[in-house]
Amino acid sequence: MNQSIKKLFLLSAALISISANAQKNDAILNTAQVQQAIARGAIVWDVRDEKSFLEGHIPGAINVGEVGSVLRDPNKEDYIATEKIQKIFNDAGLSVNRDIVVYGARGNPYAYFGLYTIQYFGGKQAQIYHDGFDGWKSAGLPIQKERQTSAPVAVTLVPQTQLVVSNEEMAKLAQSKSVQILDVRTTDEYSGKDVRAIRGGHIPNSVNIPFEDNWQDPTTAIKLSKKQLTDNAGMSLKNEADLKKLYANLDPDKETVVYCQSGVRAAETAVVLKNLGFKKVKVYDSSWLGWGNNLKAPVADESFLNVGALNAKMSAMQNKINQLEEALKAKNN
């Protein structure tokens, strides 16, 4: 190969590489990338509750309240009517047609649920800030406390049903060897020890990788609850090499269905998998609430909710509350 041809070849390779990197659109952003997105005019959506939002948020962020409560039916934990969500978004100026950055607390799966919601209703330019407000604050960046109003928009939301798996579809996919099913709940939920529906257990042939395993320290939430830690830095994502190792036994070319209890934790892992190059990733929308409560659906490690024992525990708890209230009254008198 003469020098001229060699130089031309190297130049072409470099241009291809630059083009590929320019087209790459990672869904998970770091702090610097969030700053760049804001500079180019992206909408920033804070999915936390209003109290947390007003205590401090990324300047200019939109907030409609805690996303899991505002956009979902409290019983089924499915979306409320599309027209209601559309009104909430339009009134807040949250256009799914725009460039959007979604964030919450570091590692909180509800931020991923917010991203999933934007994508489900037709948004194609949404990304997530995994480290969220915690990452922003620890970087020493400006914080805003007052609510900033945005001009309302008029966007029609169109559900993209091809992105999710329904109960009927899941019943068929669970019997297919060409689909890999990933359960991202805790090991106790997966084994049937922790029952959060009529039945406990898991979908037959599903693989269990808890969503917390995406974090640098999967035990961070537990340690925080026990006051063994003072911050949630351990909820930051593992690096790409460690994430690839975590999912090494899954085939990135196979259709992958992710589920949890109601689809929220599944949304986080689904985004991580897509970022790793998994080509066909869907969320089982109803997740275990849909499967475990369907007595016709097959369950591995099946267990049942003991309603009598649950009522007894609730009754005992209420008695303790009554005793405490009486003790407080006696003390105040």
Task: Quickly tell me which residue has 């241009």 as its tokens.
Answer: 15
Indicate the CATH number for domain 162-209+247-307. 3.40.250.10
Query: Whole-model pTM?
Result: 0.85
Confirm if 57 and 8 have CB atoms less than 8 A apart. Answer: no
From first to last of its 333 residues, the chain has per-residue pLDDT tens of 444 433 433 333 333 333 333 334 589 999 999 999 999 999 999 999 999 999 999 999 999 999 999 999 998 889 999 999 999 999 999 999 999 999 999 999 999 999 999 999 999 999 999 999 999 999 999 999 999 889 999 999 999 999 999 999 999 999 999 999 999 999 999 999 999 999 999 999 999 999 999 999 999 999 999 999 999 999 999 999 999 999 999 999 999 999 999 999 999 999 999 999 999 999 999 999 999 999 999 999 999 876 666 777 777 888 888 888 888 888 887
Q: Which of 121, 106, 126 is nearest to 37 (CA)?
A: 126
| Distance from chain centroid for Cα 201 | 22
Classified as helix, coil or strand, 16 is helix
* CATH 3.40.250.10 placement within the chain: 19-159, 162-209+247-307
Backbone dihedral angles phi then psi of residue 312, each to the nearest 5 degrees:
-65, -40
Q: State the first-to-last Cα distance of the chain, in angstroms, to the nearest integer.
A: 98
At the second CATH level, the architecture of 19-159 is: 3-Layer(aba) Sandwich (3.40)
